[in-house]
A = this chain, B = another copy of it.
Amino acid sequence: MSTILLDRLRDKLVEVGHLKASLNLLEWDQFVHVPPGGQDARAATRAAIAAVHHEKLTSPEIGELVHELQSRTTFPFSGMELCIINQAAVDHGRATRMPTEFVRELTLAQGEANAHWIEARKRSDFKMLAADLKKIVALKRREAAYIGYRQSPYDALLDDYEPGATSADIAPVFDDLKKFLVPFVAQIGFSPVRPRREILRARCPVKQQEAFTKMVVSQLGFDWNRGLLAVTAHPMCYSFNPNDIRMSTRYEEDDFFHQCFFSTVHEMGHGHYDQGMRYEYFGTGMCHEVSMGVHESQSRMWENQVGHSRAFWKYFYPRLKGAYGFQEQFWGVSFEDFYAAINAVEPALIRTDADEVTYNLHVIIRFEIEKALIEGDIEVDDLPHVWNAKMREYLGVEVSDDANGVLQDIHWPEGMFGYFPTYTLGNLYAAQFYAAARRDIPDLEDGFADGEFQPLLSWLNKNIHVHGQLYSASELVRTVTGEYPISRYFEEYLRGKYSEIYQV
């Protein structure tokens, strides 16, 4: 009987999953393909489907099935079955706190703001987006009120991306990190070592950029039979299901490494996670990321611990130097100069281009601002001013214009308040996971130097990807690494790597 009820619940969850997959396609396609004149209509379609998705997720039948299954304490459910039931309870519970009409309104506002953001960013004019953002912020404050929270309304939003985390937990971790990072960046600034960053600005034709990037991504184990790479203004990775993963990148002839290469390796890390889940559990918590922090740990690990390492480039640098389109540009550039250049630390304006050391300061700035915004301590009109002041304070850079400042990210127009801190949590998790992987696989980096990346991917598949939401983020970290999340590994990683490069 319990099995029948569980099957019935799973059927319902699969239906909700397909609606979510359709929503993701509508969103992905809005970024990649919808023509300018079709943007508003697309926003309307997204809103209508979001409402139907919400109706289905909040259907009383799911509530009753979950209630019934959770009350059967004597039945020996497996861990996976419990994960499916309990996660359904969480998702259904969260959704039922919001009216469907509100979800429709919010999704419509997001879709419209998304379209207007593209224009505002192009013209570098924050004012063009201010009205949309005000609407979004008001709606997200309402969402927080619907969801409920103990201390800060921001926590209600954060919980959607990093379940169980609160800003009260995160703020001290980020403060400590800031206390480590700000002087560490200054130390690096005074170092006599000056990597020759300009060698990375060599011109390479787009076709060859694409060929080299795809070759690398293949070698790193991405399954092209179940995914693709498209072109967008802002690199992304969307999953419709484990068998259909869409990544995107961008190409600029004179900025291969930051616009295209490392972004793609980052998105591929997300793709690995999504492809590593099990389609047979589609729609349930067993086929869903633990948290966005864990998701980012996968992308950041492949981008940084792997993609910016000596071992990685020991294998790929000779291949880059031999690749059509790159040969002349890198002729005579030594391995050490190249390695230093890709790891150069320099405070700058754009988060997605930032080096590993300054990156988290970009995130901390956004976390502090969005928290204050949701809590009502600042308002939308204050954003450019507050943004520019914090960039000066933490990174010592002057923001030239809104496009390179407060308008650079899609997250706020898309209503993704509470997402940014997961990038830094991801960096912390990544360092801790990676240290464990090195312990478990002793010759890990020797393998990289020989082009062998499958051992790491298999380790991640087995230890992280297949588990879905079986564990919470901190339980997962403890299970895999033996310790609860701790920032020590990340600080050691940065200090070890950059002390060597910069001799500080």
Which residues of A are at the interface with B, using a C-beta cutoff of 8 A? 14-15, 18-19, 21-22, 25-26, 29, 33-38, 40-42, 44-45, 48-49, 51-52, 56, 223-228, 240-241, 243-244, 246, 279, 282
Q: Are A223 and B282 in contact (CB under 8 A)?
A: no
A238 CB, nearest partner CB in chain B, Å: 11
Q: Are B26 and A22 in contact (CB under 8 A)?
A: yes
A25-B25, A240-B45 are known contacts. Are A35 and B225 too (CB-CB below 8 A)? yes
Q: Are B41 and A240 in contact (CB under 8 A)?
A: yes
Per the bound structure, the CA–CA distance linking A45 and B40 in Å amounts to 24
Of residues A15, A45, A246, which shows the largest number of chain B Cβ atoms within 10 Å of its Cβ?
A: A45
Q: Is chain A's binding surface mostly helix, strand, loop or mixed?
A: helix
Q: Looking at the complex, which one of B35, B52, B56, B244 makes contact with A41 (CB distance below 8 Å)?
A: B244
Q: List 16 A-B contacts (CB under 8 A).
A: A14-B48, A18-B44, A21-B45, A22-B26, A22-B49, A25-B25, A25-B26, A29-B29, A34-B244, A35-B225, A37-B225, A37-B243, A37-B244, A41-B240, A41-B279, A52-B52
Contacts of A243 in B (CB 8 A): 35, 37-38, 40-41
Contacts of A51 in B (CB 8 A): 15
Query: What are the 5 A-B residue pairs with the smallest beta carbon separation, nearest first?
Result: A38-B244, A18-B48, A37-B226, A37-B225, A38-B243
Per the bound structure, the CA–CA distance linking A22 and B241 in Å amounts to 17
Per the bound structure, the CA–CA distance linking A391 and B22 in Å amounts to 41
Q: Are B49 and A19 in contact (CB under 8 A)?
A: yes
Per the bound structure, the CA–CA distance linking A190 and B42 in Å amounts to 55
Per the bound structure, the CA–CA distance linking A279 and B41 in Å amounts to 9
Q: Are A49 and B244 in contact (CB under 8 A)?
A: no
Give 11 new A-B contacts, CB below 8 A, not counting A35-B226, A35-B227, A37-B244: A14-B48, A18-B45, A19-B49, A22-B25, A34-B244, A37-B243, A38-B227, A40-B243, A41-B240, A41-B282, A52-B52
Contacts of A41 in B (CB 8 A): 240-241, 243-244, 279, 282
Q: Are B38 and A241 in contact (CB under 8 A)?
A: yes
A135 CB, nearest partner CB in chain B, Å: 21
Contacts of A224 in B (CB 8 A): 35
Contacts of A227 in B (CB 8 A): 35, 38
Per the bound structure, the CA–CA distance linking A178 and B52 in Å amounts to 49
A103 CB, nearest partner CB in chain B, Å: 14
A222 CB, nearest partner CB in chain B, Å: 11
Contacts of A44 in B (CB 8 A): 18
Per the bound structure, the CA–CA distance linking A241 and B34 in Å amounts to 11
Q: Find the B residue at minimum CB distance from A32.
A: B33
Contacts of A38 in B (CB 8 A): 226-227, 240-241, 243-244
Q: Find the B residue at minimum CB distance from A225.
A: B37
Of residues A18, A19, A26, A282, which shows the largest number of chain B Cβ atoms within 10 Å of its Cβ?
A: A18
A290 CB, nearest partner CB in chain B, Å: 22
Per the bound structure, the CA–CA distance linking A69 and B463 in Å amounts to 60
Per the bound structure, the CA–CA distance linking A359 and B45 in Å amounts to 38
A463 CB, nearest partner CB in chain B, Å: 24
Q: Find the B residue at minimum CB distance from A48.
A: B18
Contacts of A35 in B (CB 8 A): 224-228, 243-244
Q: Are A19 and B34 in contact (CB under 8 A)?
A: no
A40 CB, nearest partner CB in chain B, Å: 7
Q: Find the B residue at minimum CB distance from A56.
A: B52
A15-B52, A29-B29, A52-B52 are known contacts. Are A22 and B45 too (CB-CB below 8 A)? yes
A41-B282, A244-B34 are known contacts. Are A49 and B18 too (CB-CB below 8 A)? yes
